[in-house]
Structure 1
Amino acid sequence: MIRTIGFVGVGTMGTPMARNLLRAGYAVRVHDVNADAAAALEADGAERAASPREAAEGRDAVITMLPNGDIVGDALFGADGIAGALAPDTLYIDMSTILPAHTDAFHRRLSEQDVAVVDAPVGRSSQHAVEGRLLIMAGGEAAHVERARPLLERMGDTIFHCGPVGTGQRMKVVNNYMSIALNALTAEALVLAESSGLDREQSRQVMLGTVAGQGHMGTTYPSKVLKGDLTPGFMVDLAHKDLGLALELAAGLNVPTYMGAVARQTYALARQDGRGRQDWTALYETMRGLVTDHAEG
């Protein structure tokens, strides 16, 4: 049973996560390059460590929550690094968001020490971290993820075991790819609405009533392409035409539509793929075909 935790990286997200572990009764030893952040948790009952290695020394589990893979690597394997303090029965959980290739490399090196590794990046906001309601995407052997689960449940209320080590990071990168790209498209759409003389709030409410605001993951995809049904609810040809209307309107108003312009090229590819009269979710099959073609090439 895990009772003692080393926590390296107590910034905007790491501080409330570590604090929730303290409130759950765990003995937490923290380290951060920002001395003030570590001191704030010390006031809440945490021990304060002078280095990553000291934070990990003698702990049942060690958690890192750091800005990027280079920093995680340095915290693990640099001077006074965590790896030097990890015993074979220690559970190492990286909750940072980093390149999956870094996670894979760190796992290989730590496996040589027989350390149990779980990658568990998080979704949602810093307020969710305060409330212990993060969404956590865990990768690792089932037994290791189950061993980590009591800790993860103190920091989040939604936990997905995505598969072996590295799948948590891959899921996080895919999730962020979609949400970050959608943010850019959302900005374009609202600026186009405003520039067209429309009320911004009413435009937002209208879009919330359609796929524009509700998203494809919960509407069109599960009802069409993901169950193999490409009979058109809305044809690729019509989507290509309507997106062209939006781009023409935007051009007349001098509104930038970078995301929309690229999206129209994707619809054009689907039409070239012979899918013009299929449902607009057929774009998924066109994109999958491009991956297959590249692999075969």
Structure 2
Amino acid sequence: MEKVRPLLESFSETLHHLGPVGSGHKAKVIHNFIAQGNAAVLAEAFTAAAKNGIDLAAFADICSLSGGHSRTFDRIIPFVLSGDDSGQRFAIANCEKDMRYYTQLAKSSPSTGIVAESVYQTFLLAKSLGHGEKYVPHLFDVLGEINGVRVRAAEKKP
């Protein structure tokens, strides 16, 4: 690592040594599971909130003050609040691919992948329904469509 550090530093913002060869790739796949799993949970939760008539802007406020808050939350909830999908410019198809990699990694370890299979299937479904090229925030639309509800905060009246 020390031998190639100067070369890596020339084009890398940060460097982290995580173990033997291949550990960095595995860590990336595991990290993507955390972020994409969070996105899937948020989309499902906000869909349930919309289906139950909860004010989504108020719900977002509550979540931002509690354990429901995360960097993924900050990136994708603006889509629910204002239709802004620019916070998570990553295609649903890429999420499906990453989650497939993660589920394969878990199986090869072997390690449980119960939650991962659900997250993978969520992104696979969204991709299969034709939303693969859309950014992650559009997962709210996919789950809303499946559940017969629009997952958007009501516009505030002046």
Normalised to the residue count of structure 1, the TM-score between the two structures is 0.26
Q: Which has the larger strand fraction?
A: 1
Structure (1 or 2) with the larger CA radius of gyration: 1
* RCO comparison, higher one (Cα < 8 Å, 6+): 2
Q: Which has the larger helix fraction?
A: 2
